[in-house]
Amino acid sequence: MAIVARVNGTVQAGAFYGYAPVWVRVAGTAVGTVGIDNAWERAVRAIQTLAATVIIGTPTANVFMVVVDNTTANLDGNGAPGSNAGVIAAILGATGITCTVTTNVDLGTTLPV
């Protein structure tokens, strides 16, 4: 379990103690569709077969983000390191949606969706 980082008694933003966070951005037509047993839920469950999720972001129709723990991650599906092929294949198998996956998204000052 992660703990809250504090500096001089104030919560420190952006700290994930106990995790090596990897930001995963998934984009594809209707991949963020919500509802009962929807594409977004199936896609998140597919990612959870490859890595432990730390944070699951709120989806838009075509994009969502998750933060996974890098120490448990197998995002390339034992393919080329950094290819994210495992995530793409898992989401395609679970939802039938072809998507693009970007890891370690440059967050700047806000979470992109």
Q: Is residue 82 part of a domain?
A: yes
Q: Is residue 1 part of a domain?
A: no
Q: Is residue 109 part of a domain?
A: no
Q: Is residue 5 part of a domain?
A: no
Q: Is residue 83 part of a domain?
A: yes
Structural domain harbouring 80: 19-103
Q: Are strands 21-27 and 10-11 parallel, antiparallel or unpaired?
A: unpaired
CATH code of the domain containing 28:
3.30.70.100
pTM listed for this prediction: 0.74
Q: Is residue 72 part of a domain?
A: yes
Q: What is the pLDDT along the chain (113 residues), one digit of tens a residue?
A: 455 555 555 655 555 666 678 888 899 988 888 877 788 888 999 989 888 888 888 888 899 999 888 877 888 776 666 678 888 899 999 999 989 888 876 555 444 44
Work out the angle at residue 50's Cα, subtended by the Cα atoms of residues 47 and 53, and round it to the nearest 5 degrees.
Answer: 60
Domains in the chain, number:
1
